Amino acid sequence: MTLVFGYNATGKSALLRMLPLLRDTLKSESAGINMGLEAGRGGSFPHLLSRLTSSPTLAVELEEGDVRARYELRYLSDQRRQALVAASRTEAGVTRTLTWTTEGTKYELTEPGHKPRTMSLDVKGLTLNEQGGGPTPLSWSPPGAQDLADVQWLDAVRARVQRNERYDGPDDRHLKYDGSNAPLLLARARLDDRESFGVTRRFYKEHLHQGLGVEDHGDQFQVVVSPPRGAPDLRLNDLGGLNGDAPISPPSSFVVNLVDTGEGLGQVLPIVLALARAATNEGPRLLVLEQPELHLHPARQEALTRWICELVGKNRGPKVVLETHAENVLLSVLLAVLEGVMTPDDVIIYWVHQDETGESFAERVTLDELARPQGLWPPEVFHEGSGSRGRSTSCVIRADETMRVTLLGSCFRSRNWSSPRWLISCSSP
């Protein structure tokens, strides 16, 4: 699991969206980054370039295992296209370099122990293949291409479920970036009795306390929710308000169209379904999720994060790259590490920030054996500038058989007191 934190407009989303951009680039028929699909947001190559420099060149570096590659792309404004001007690949400690001669598709290859030679390259996206290179032509695929080609990206702004959905459209492997085909993929998973349907329903029941179902209406269907059996009765008082003496028990068939509920239940559906499909090998296993906890109550944010941690912590679990502003998400991850759901090595945190010039940096933060952040992590990030007299931060406590406790964050510290005050609550004896 990779967590990405930072203030607004520091570059977090740009960092995450590079993954679906690279996915789209692997399908490209022309050189350079493919900006023509959803991740490009209607932009072009110049929109990728830093505003802090006038350089028309963008460098992309990819690494997998002991293979590292670097690509330098330049925008040719007179031709309104990208050109690969240089590329290098290091494998088993040996670096080979390609340099564009500026003559069509001609590149010069330099490598240790060999004379430079000129070749013609077919460049599609970041995939390089030598044309007419004899029995062993040069062929470079981007490191990590297999994972990048199957990225599942979900944007922070997701589509609202429709009241009546139709059984049309392809049975895609990927959810759309806005999750708009999530209801269709859920309904088809039900018809085909796929495991992902049961996993999704189980999450709604256990963590959102709602039954989830699909009701057919001819060639259309509706996604519905219902209170699970055993849900508390509503009681009306004499004035017609709640908490009176007259119980109002909904019938067992009581259902509500998902579109008529609060935004949280609908907005989280694509997130849960994508994770369920990854966990059951029905969909991509590298997920890029922007603010998956949006519109959920803090307690439900914790439940969602805990569930993600449980999936990631399993043997050969999915890989999740997650951007968030939520303190609950971070603390839930720390607690999962403390409880052994995941190991510290399963988690990488990036703190994204800008300097005074506007340049962005992604600082890597790791966790020690007690789930304490190691590295450049600002301790007051969730409360800086709040203006409150006291500062409140959740804490995680681990008690072992000798009743030692490890405090990962201060619960409450007043600026007017000379010593901290701790507020500790226990969920079990």
Rounded average pLDDT over 392-399: 50
Render pLDDT for 334-380 as a digit per residue (tens, 0 to 9): 999 999 999 999 999 999 999 998 899 999 999 998 898 888 888 77
pLDDT at 236: 46
Q: What is the pTM of this model?
A: 0.85
Contact 422, 394 (CB under 8 A): no
pLDDT above 60 for 387: no
pLDDT above 50 for 159: yes
pLDDT at 227: 78
Q: Which residue has the higher pLDDT, 17 or 376?
A: 17
Of the listed ranges 189-198, 299-308, 405-414, the one predicted with least confidence: 405-414
DSSP-assigned letters across all residues of 250-295: PPTT--EEGGGS-HHHHHTHHHHHHHHHHHTTSS-SEEEEESTTTT
CB count within 10 Å of CB 371 equals: 21
State the Cα–Cα distance between residues 351 and 114, nearest whole angstrom: 43
The b/e string for 259-269 (b: 16+ C-beta within 10 A; e otherwise) is beeeebbbbbb
Q: Which residue has the tokens 């390089």?
A: 128
pLDDT at 229: 61
Contact 78, 68 (CB under 8 A): no
3-state secondary structure of 333: helix
